[in-house]
Amino acid sequence: MIELISEIRKMKSFMGILVEQDEQNMSINKHAQNIINILKFSNLYSATIKKLLDKILKIGEEKIIDFDLMERGLKAVMLKKGNRKKNVEDYFLRIFTSLEFREKGIYGIEPETEDFGFDIEDVSIVPKKIFAKELYGLQVELIKLQEWLSKTGKTVIVVFEGRDSAGKGSSIKKFTENMNPKLFKVIQLGIPTPEDRADWWGRYRKQIEPGKINLFDRSWYNRGLIEPVAGYGTPEEYEDFMENVENFENSLVDNGDYLFKLWFSIEKETMSKRFKQRLSSPLKKWKYSPNDEKMLDLWDRFTEFKEKLFDKTSTVNHPWIILDSSDKRVSGLNAIRYVLQNIPYEGKNEEFLNKDYPEAITVLRPE
């Protein structure tokens, strides 16, 4: 009798594993089919793309792959100008190459733990130990970058933009937590005065300190997005901004300095969830304001102005870098890596710089 019960338990356990695997495969097939449908609808489902997707699905039999994230990345890539088929083929090739060389077990379901149990935790596809290892290596590279800036006098400007709760602040923290405080500056300005409004470009230019990494937690793009969406600015101010922002940004790097524009992207459901988390967290409740709910109500209007912004201000020299920040570990690592990859500082360690998560980053550089 005892042996019979033992065998039944083994069978139930085995059946449970099979059910779990079937559910996982169904989920993979569902999201993969969504990707295929998007490609077919857009006449982009080439033989090359099919072959790459088949290889990615094969890897998905052994590793957990976030196909939902991949689908959002595909939609971002399709915003790029130029040869759309080549852009999409390059996107899936980068993903396949990245998956091949990621550490074993890179995809998991571990939660974020930044608030040590005070928050409802977000899940991450990057296990904590691997995240800590990658972040450590990148933060060492940031210190090398600071030393190089100190020697050369060059300046780095990084713009962090995106919807509320998209992860701008947590990414800035990942940049700065181990850097030399004398060689970076975080810039977060309040409500502009009438004088600020009259000298919009000067308001931001005067904040930049040469020889440092200057991190803008929101920037001059308030005038091209937040103000028109919320009704704070005038149509004339908006038009003037859109007409002159490219010249302003070019002037910031006249002396061979570096400017990066990072956009942290989230879905509406993620935004709503994070607002609820703010309200329930004793460490983050101060971040919540009535404007948060207002921006949820203005989601579609915000999207409209965001797309105009990308179309007009994503230039060859200063493209927008779209970072899917539904997973803050991934967006934080991608943000740091992109900046480091695009500055020729001394002593680079390519081991940390060559890894990335291409399904969660898109460079909107026009061809």
Are 203 and 331 in a shared domain?
Answer: yes
Instruction: Round to whole Å and give the CA distance between 33 and 67.
Output: 10
Are 94 and 194 in a shared domain?
Answer: no
Asked which of 58, 81, 101 is the last residue of a domain, the reply is 101
pTM: 0.80
Are 78 and 158 in a shared domain?
Answer: no
Are 143 and 273 in a shared domain?
Answer: yes
pLDDT digits (tens, 9 = 90+) for 19-44: 344 444 444 567 688 888 889 888 88
Are 142 and 285 in a shared domain?
Answer: yes
pLDDT digits (tens, 9 = 90+) for 105-138: 444 444 444 444 434 456 788 888 889 999 999 9
β-partners of residue 263 are 161, 322
Strands (E) across the chain are located at 110-111, 123-124, 156-162, 184-187, 213-217, 258-265, 320-324, 361-364
Are 81 and 196 in a shared domain?
Answer: no
What's 258's domain CATH number? 3.40.50.300
- The predicted structure's pLDDT at residue 284: 75
- The predicted structure's pLDDT at residue 2: 42
Domain residues for the domain of 23 are 2-101
Number of domains in the chain: 2
Asked which of 66, 101, 136 is the last residue of a domain, the reply is 101
The CB-side HSE value for 350 (13 A sphere, CA atoms) comes to 1
Are 151 and 277 in a shared domain?
Answer: yes
Are 192 and 327 in a shared domain?
Answer: yes
- The predicted structure's pLDDT at residue 227: 95
pLDDT digits (tens, 9 = 90+) for 312-365: 999 999 999 999 999 999 999 999 999 999 999 999 998 889 878 999 999 999
Are 23 and 136 in a shared domain?
Answer: no
Are 195 and 229 in a shared domain?
Answer: yes
Are 87 and 127 in a shared domain?
Answer: no
pLDDT digits (tens, 9 = 90+) for 84-102: 888 898 898 888 888 876 6
Asked which of 101, 136, 168 is the last residue of a domain, the reply is 101
Are 97 and 19 in a shared domain?
Answer: yes
pLDDT digits (tens, 9 = 90+) for 210-251: 999 999 999 999 999 999 999 999 999 999 999 999 999 999
